Amino acid sequence: GRILLTGASGFIAAHCLAAFLEKGHFVRFTVRSQLKADQILDAKENEKYRGQLEAVIVPDIAADDAYKDALDDTLDGVIHTASPFHMNFTDPQELLGPAMRGTDGLLKAIANLAPNVKRVVITSSFAAMIDPSKGNWPGHTYAEEDWNPVTMEQALTGDKITTYRASKTFAEREAWNFVRQEKTPKVEFDLVTLCPPMVYGPIVNAQTLSSLNTSNERMWKFLNGEVKQIEPMSNPLWVDVRDLAAAHLAAYEIPAAGGNRFFIVADEFYSNQDIADAFRKARSPFSQWRPTAD
Ligand code: NDP
């Protein structure tokens, strides 16, 4: 098929891009600058896929008409991964705006500009499912009905994690509301959302250690000494980024996936201590350690 992938410079999106290209799909991707577009277009691993790749620059997904050059009637699917996942903000709107308007605006733009899109897959998060007041919630089995009960007031006044989780919760909720309410002839697509917990794995796009995405940055802080004390885990769930990419591909390709919200997790727990132990076991001298592709 022919898909639009948003936020292709991201940690998770890089693996989604590889999975879709390898399967033979055509991928038009969005990034925020020509530099980032060129890095992907010129990457060695993408050499054999040149004819399947097209870049569109979308500097800010929260802007009005952000997606006007990205969508048209040649596309049959959209994979939306772009959303801010970082804690470098002062105003909560810096997260809430791109997460919410970036998603809602995209769905409206698809309805208006891309009539042949049949499936939209959104990278949501376990952040949109978790109820932080329940802790690890022994005995509870998470299901589609689990929604983070965070309110807008908490999003605006709470700590940064609360704001981030709220941004994912509100964005996903609005997406479901959109496909439910706008069931007019205009909305021809259905929706799949994927809710992964912490995502780890090989890094494809990061150019420097200071530009690591948030989940990998946490690991790096164990190694570089910024985290002096291994904190107890708030939750022990994770998933490998390659499995999550495969889940994005399946969510697009499998017709029966439509209308579902999937919790995507590894079938094992982890702890911060496991990460520290793995680093110790690797025994690579700190000064020579570099993030590599594998
Ligand atoms: P990254 O930070 O690597 O990717 C985020 C992507 O979104 C980047 O391409 C970034 O562009 C883009 N982006 C952010 N804000 C804007 C904006 N205002 N306008 C345009 N583009 C924007 O993080 P991940 O790959 O980890 O995250 C991808 C998705 O997965 C997010 O939706 C995140 O919430 C979700 N997720 C991640 C988890 C994890 O552990 N990593 C866990 C659960 C969900 P740029 O690089 O140019 O800033």
C-alpha atoms less than 13 angstroms from C-alpha of 150 in its C-beta half-sphere: 29
Residue 288 pLDDT greater than 60, yes or no:
no
Report the percent of the chain where pLDDT is more than 90: 77
Q: Is the CB of 163 under 6 A from ligand 1?
A: no
In the structure encoding, which two tokens stand for residue 106, read together? Answer: 């995209």
Under 8 Å between Cβ of 30 and 58? yes
- Of residues 160 and 291, more confidently modeled: 160
Per-residue model confidence as pLDDT tens digits over 49-99:
999 999 999 999 999 999 999 999 999 999 999 999 999 999 999 999 999
60 lines ligand 1 (CB under 6 A): yes
All structural domains of the chain, each given as residue ranges with its CATH number in brackets, are 2-200+236-266 (3.40.50.720)
Q: 242, exposed or middle or buried, with CB in 10 Å at 0-12, 13-18, 19+? A: middle
φ, ψ of residue 177 to 5 degrees: the values are -60, -40
Phi, psi at residue 8, to the nearest 5°? -65, -15
Q: How far apart are CA 193 and CA 36, in angstroms?
A: 26
Q: Does residue 168 have its Cβ closer than 6 Å to ligand 1?
A: yes
What pLDDT band is residue 111 in, cutting at 50, 70 and 90? very high
241-253 and 11-22 helices, crossing angle to 10°: 50
Top pLDDT among 181 and 39 is at: 39
DSSP 222: H
Question: How close is the Cα of 11 to the center of ligand 1, in Å?
Answer: 7
Per-residue confidence at 184, pLDDT binned at 50, 70, 90?
low
User: What contacts 24+ positions apart, CB below 8 Å, involve 32-35?
Assistant: 32/57, 32/58, 32/59, 32/60, 33/57, 33/59
Q: What is the pTM of this model?
A: 0.94
**Shortest-distance atom of ligand 1 to CA 12:** 25
SS3 263: strand
Distance, C-alpha 8 to centroid of its chain: 10
Residues 277, 267: Cα–Cα separation, whole Å? 20
Pocket test for ligand 1, best of 16, 30, 32, 96 (most atoms within 8 A of CB): 32
Q: What residue owns the CA closest to ligand 1's atom 42? A: 198
Q: Which residues, 6+ apart, have CB-to-CB distance to 280 below 8 Å?
A: none
